[in-house]
A and B are shown apart, each in its own frame.
Chain A
Amino acid sequence: MKNRYFPLGFILLLSLTFFSADCGGREDDDIDELGEVDLNFQGTFGAEPLVMLAEEYPYEAGMQVRFQLFQFYISEINLIAKDGNKLNIGEVALVNFENIQSTEAASKGLDFAFSNIPAGEYKGIEMGIGVASDLNEKAPSDYAVGHPLAFQGNYWSGLSSYIFTKIEGNADLNGDGEFTEKLTFHIGEKEDVPLYEMISLDYDFTVSKDQATTIPLAVNLKQVISPSSSNFLDFRVVSQDHTNQASVYSLIIDNLKKGAISINQ
């Protein structure tokens, strides 16, 4: 009778052994020590807090801009342990600043909590900007309501792609205070235009048992649409792109992946 439980116990023990070996070389007795990691995203536009609708920002060439929506997907969220091993903590999340409509809300930012993180020392985080290819092959109908990928509004059935990022707002083209130019940029992935890319950020932190550790992240929207005075989205020329013009969507998505997201010092 005793031997009846042996195979199950052996498999469980084996599983635990492999699990512990894959978690950055932590001691076996640490495996039950779990904490929480919170990703905190704070939006900015240059040095200013990013606030939807309530704030207006000086822009290139005497223009001004005001935002209503800025959102983007992140996926394949991994923590990087001190020994270089990666620990996947999340499949996908939607970072959406739409409801950040005051400086107070902007200072709080957006929080994403990940629990059951093994205690230990870590040296960074990596994440994909957009929706990973295996997830992008799916559609909202594959998910239950409430899942970040269940929202039909972020999916293009025609392109069979999620919309990786959306930026919407208004521009005052000539500095007269009239924000009549409507801005709408939606960037998704076309079959022949892969846009998804991983980014990695160095950050030393410790996860302790039953404690929450915050990784502070800054997202600079100005860096996304106007990285320099010679390289920016000129709203006098283009105010809308739904992944039609390579010069537009490449600028947005490339800048989002390169430098717009950083550790918030």
Chain B
Amino acid sequence: MLRITGILSCCFLLLACQEQERIHSVKTDGSLSHIPYSPENFALQEPNGFVKMAMPADNPLTMAGVALGRHLFYDPILSRDNSRSCSSCHLQEYGFSDTSSLSRGIEGRLGKRNAIALSNLAYHYTNFFWDGRAASLEAQALVPVEDSLELGNSWEEVETRLQAHFNYPVLFRQAFGITHTSEIDRSLVAKALAQFERSMISADAKFDRYQAGQARLSESEERGRLIFFDESEVLPTGECSHCHIAPLFTSLEFFNNGLDNTDQPLKDGGKWQVTRNPFDQGKFKTPSLRNISLTAPYMHDGRFATLDEVIEQYNVGGHYSKNESPNVRPLGLEAQDKKDLIAFLHTLTDTSYLRREDLSNPFLR
């Protein structure tokens, strides 16, 4: 009797597995309609004190969309030689930034800029990249695939690969309700990547807990905070918060922060390369300082290896340019002031963000 029950159980299990496989497999003609499509809203927790998110109406976050974006973010399938992915230059343990001054693409090709750290992109409603050449996160996601110094691929090739893949058509079906593999295209890839990137919220640094009354800053951190936000009548002003505004620690604007004298030809004109407006020479998007202690090297070209070097650049007031931000001015910071400022900057490290399972590489689970 026991033997019969056991055999029946095995049969049921086998049939169940076959049924699962049937409804989660692509049919030979590429049809996907038989695979269930029931999008579930991705409930993104908006931290207190942040502005409202800019969520595009045509790309709401869903559980399946974010999951698909996560796979694509970590998958080298997007690169020509299957060697590089978004995550190759945006490393979670470094706040989704790169440790190299200039990021490397396929075949070790040297890029032109430092990979910008990623966090809280749901609040960046426009102006992506250091030079703002992409108006939306979706538009941004389209660029690296065909950049010869990054993933070096063509979208046609990527679409072909994804359509023929054993698993991605199912994920696209679950995310976007497509009915045929041929519907997988670059715009859906970009949407999925954007969804995943919008789920990357960092708001659990010591500074956040301090703001919420749940943590105390050390004496040095507090002095640094006062310098950073220009909130003391007796301490020197750091002038940091004109551009690095809490809670995002960026104003999302472009500034010439005095790195180079723009009266001379610049190797990298920044925003000027997009607008060709001479008054945009040397302007770059203000990066967020969240997780700044982990995102070295610094600046668009990674020219500074340490925070000390960054602060010294600002302390001397940068280099004169016609369009240098007037808020970059000699600060008069003494050695202790600089230490305190760096101590404060370390309070922006969100270690839980670096360990978040749902942001990690799904292929390593």
- Please give the residue numbers on chain A whose beta carbons come within 8 Å of chain B beta carbons, in ascending order: 52-54, 66, 68, 101, 139-141, 143-146, 150-153, 155, 157-158, 168-170, 179-180, 182-184, 240, 242, 244
Contacts and interface: CB of A to CB of B under 8 A. Distances in A.
B128 to A, nearest CB: 14
B123 interface: yes
Contacts of A146: 54, 125
Contacts of B329: 182, 184, 240
B53 interface: yes
A241 B301 CA distance: 32
Contact of B51 (A144, A180, A183): A144
Contacts of B248: 152
B323 interface: yes
B308 interface: no
Nearest to A180: B320
A142 to B, nearest CB: 8
Interface string B141-175: 00000000000000000000000000000000000
A141 B48 contact: yes
A46 to B, nearest CB: 21
A141 B211 CA distance: 14
Most A CB contacts (10 A, CB to CB) among B49, B279, B323, B326 go to B326
A145 B326 contact: no
Given A53-B279, A146-B125, A153-B251, A170 B52 contact: no
Contacts of A179: 322
A150 B51 CA distance: 7
B246 interface: yes
B326 A169 contact: yes
Nearest to B54: A145
6 contacts: A54-B279, A68-B325, A141-B49, A141-B51, A155-B245, A157-B246
Contact of A101 (B251, B277, B324): B277
Contacts of A101: 277, 279
Q: How large is the interface on B (under 10, 10 to 19, 20 to 34, 35 or more residues)?
A: 20 to 34
A54 B280 CA distance: 12
A143 B52 contact: yes
B261 to A, nearest CB: 12
B81 interface: no
B53 A153 contact: no
A152 B251 contact: yes
A184 B54 contact: no
B324 to A, nearest CB: 8
B260 interface: no
Contacts of B253: 153
A180 to B, nearest CB: 6
A145 B51 contact: yes
Contact of A53 (B52, B123, B320, B323): B323
A184 B326 contact: yes
Contact of A183 (B233, B324, B326): B326
A179 B323 CA distance: 11
B323 A68 contact: yes
Contacts of A240: 329
A101 B231 CA distance: 33
Nearest to A167: B326
Contacts of B233: 244
Contacts of A242: 230
B246 A144 contact: no
Most B CB contacts (10 A, CB to CB) among A143, A153, A168 go to A153
Closest 5 CB pairs of A and B: A182-B326, A153-B251, A145-B54, A152-B245, A144-B52
A141 B245 contact: no
B37 interface: no
B12 interface: no
Contact of A168 (B49, B251, B327): B327
